[in-house]
Amino acid sequence: MSFLSLIGLFVVLKLFVYLALFLTGDTDLELWWYDKFKNNLGSFKDKVVWITGASSGIGEQIALNLSKHGAKLILSARSQDKLYHVKNRCIELSEGKLTANDILVLPMDVTHIAKHLSFFDNVINHFGKLDILVNNAGRSQRAVWEDIELGVDREAFELNVFSTVNLSRIAVKYFNQVGRGQIVITSSIAGIIPAPFSASYNATKHALHGYFGALRREKVHTNIHVTILCPGPVFSNFLKESFTARHGDKYGLTHSPTDNRMSAERCAHLSCVAIANKLKESWMAKFPILPITYLTVYYPVISYKLYELYGYKIAQKLRDNQ
Ligand SMILES: NC(=O)c1ccc[n+]([C@@H]2O[C@H](COP(=O)([O-])OP(=O)(O)OC[C@H]3O[C@@H](n4cnc5c(N)ncnc54)[C@H](OP(=O)(O)O)[C@@H]3O)[C@@H](O)[C@H]2O)c1
């Protein structure tokens, strides 16, 4: 076989491997590789990790996962009782690696931005350091574009964007002083591809990529890292808690157990692998969301043609099984 034929064979084989992973996998290729061969989860031992939105869903599962690897935790959300429940589960799962003093329950409404600095001081006073801030608190949305009240856009930005940016700025100033640290953002596939009927939500998640993409570039020659997590549909309280078009409303629906969603446990595991390896941006979603994401990012014209053919109803089916 000639040298050129060998190269051709290699390219074809590589395409087959990619295709197989696109069709069967639930992560982008980089995250898949780290998950299979170098998850690095042991590196969390004795790291101090602050998770917002830790009372349920993905944030709760990230906390449970990290506790198994001995990370010291700060758990934040508004529901104090749920946070204590998560704390107790974390201590159990840590199998002796963590004591009650290693997990600080710090109830907070993240939109109360004026209190961020004093919360941050609490964390440093308690643990003497912070290694990783996971900005996970957030709410989605289900609403028709033209019906959305501007108050909803503002509320979504206050929660999903400004609280995240403000808390992260405090953390980054501290990371500058100590010379290292990591900011983690729970974005969404909706932060890459705008999903129909979630305009304010899409905009908040796209804004996070803008803000934190800039931070990553500014810190390129430092030991300060930015990891953006992009899950597709995941089982959680998300749909019930979603914003609607009207200010003050919640969507209120729950998922059906048969929906094509990733479990919050799987999403949290993959998120922890991405965080441990300081990956820049990680996509995680069940088929067919992941190949659709690749197609939309790399072949936008083809992807929009397909969208015109199959319509937004299919998109709704994929997202909410409706
Ligand atoms: N589930 C999905 O399909 C999906 C997909 C992509 C991305 N995400 C992202 O994942 C993150 C977590 O969502 P989830 O799916 O795990 O939903 P979830 O179960 O509803 O969890 C949301 C968390 O955010 C907290 N939170 C909400 N408002 C808050 C506030 N004002 N202050 C402090 N904490 C607040 C909630 O706790 P309290 O109510 O106790 O405050 C809860 O702990 C969100 O950023 C979301 O955008 C989710």
Q: Evaluate whether residue 76 is within a structural domain.
A: yes
* DSSP element (H, E) containing 1: none
Q: Evaluate whether residue 13 is within a structural domain.
A: no
**Distance, CA 177 to ligand 1 centroid (Å)?**
30
Cβ atoms of 93 and 68 within 8 Å: the answer is yes
Closest CA to 205 of 181, 225, 232: 232
Closest CA to 138 of 186, 106, 75, 105: 186
Q: Evaluate whether residue 172 is within a structural domain.
A: yes
Look-up of token digits 């088929």: 287
Say which residue, 106 or 309, is predicted with more confidence. Answer: 106
- Could you give the CA distance from residue 85 to residue 68 in angstroms, rounded to a whole number? 16
- At 215, which amino acid appears? L
Q: Is 129 in the pocket of ligand 1 (CB under 6 A)?
A: no
- Confidence check: pLDDT of 322 > 70: no
Measure the CA dihedral 28/284/48/101, to 10°: -150
Residue with the nearest Cα to atom 42 of ligand 1?
A: 53
Q: Could you give the number of structural domains in the chain?
A: 1
3-state SS of 26-63?
Answer: CECHHHHHHHHHCCCHHHHCCCEEEEECCCCHHHHHHH
Look-up of token digits 């939109």: 111
Q: Evaluate whether residue 92 is within a structural domain.
A: yes
Residue with the nearest Cα to atom 1 of ligand 1?
A: 234
- Could you give the CA distance from residue 191 to residue 318 in angstroms, rounded to a whole number? 16
Weakest mean pLDDT among 23-27, 148-152, 255-259: 255-259
Give the domain CATH number at 235: 3.40.50.720
- Helix, strand, or coil here: 123? helix
Q: Evaluate whether residue 302 is within a structural domain.
A: no
- Helix, strand, or coil here: 315? helix
Q: Evaluate whether residue 164 is within a structural domain.
A: yes
**Distance, CA 201 to ligand 1 centroid (Å)?**
12
Q: What is the pLDDT of residue 112?
A: 98
**Distance, CA 172 to ligand 1 centroid (Å)?**
23
**Distance, CA 278 to ligand 1 centroid (Å)?**
22
Q: What is the mean pLDDT of the chain?
A: 94
Weakest mean pLDDT among 10-24, 101-115, 135-149, 191-205: 10-24
Weakest mean pLDDT among 1-15, 99-113, 214-228, 302-316: 302-316
- For 283-301, what is each residue's pLDDT tens digit? 999 998 998 899 999 999 9
Look-up of token digits 């840590």: 94
Weakest mean pLDDT among 58-67, 169-178, 259-268, 303-312: 303-312
**Distance, CA 21 to ligand 1 centroid (Å)?**
29
Share of the chain above pLDDT 70, in %: 98
Q: Where are the alpha helices (DSSP H) in the chain?
A: 3-24, 29-37, 57-68, 80-93, 116-127, 150-157, 163-178, 199-218, 238-241, 264-276, 289-298, 300-320
Q: Is 57 in the pocket of ligand 1 (CB under 6 A)?
A: yes
- Confidence check: pLDDT of 312 > 60: yes
CB within 8 Å of 30: residues ≥ 6 apart? 279, 282
Q: Count Cβ atoms within 10 A of the Cβ of residue 179 and give its class: 0-12 exposed, 13-18 middle, 19 or more buried.
A: exposed
Q: Is 241 in the pocket of ligand 1 (CB under 6 A)?
A: yes
The best mutation among 27, 106, 234, 254 to test binding of ligand 1, ranked by most ligand atoms within 8 Å of the C-beta, falls on: 234
- For 224-277, what is each residue's pLDDT tens digit? 999 999 999 999 999 999 999 999 999 998 888 888 899 999 999 999 999 999
Residue with the nearest Cα to atom 30 of ligand 1?
A: 109
Q: Is 163 in the pocket of ligand 1 (CB under 6 A)?
A: no
State residue 297 phi and psi, 5-degree precision. -75, -45
- At 134, which amino acid appears? V
Q: Evaluate whether residue 168 is within a structural domain.
A: yes
Cβ atoms of 144 and 245 within 8 Å: the answer is yes
Q: Is 201 in the pocket of ligand 1 (CB under 6 A)?
A: no
- Could you give the CA distance from residue 52 to residue 138 in angstroms, rounded to a whole number? 9
Q: Domain limits at 175?
A: 25-290
- Could you give the CA distance from residue 98 to residue 67 in angstroms, rounded to a whole number? 7
Overall average pLDDT of the 19-33 stretch: 88
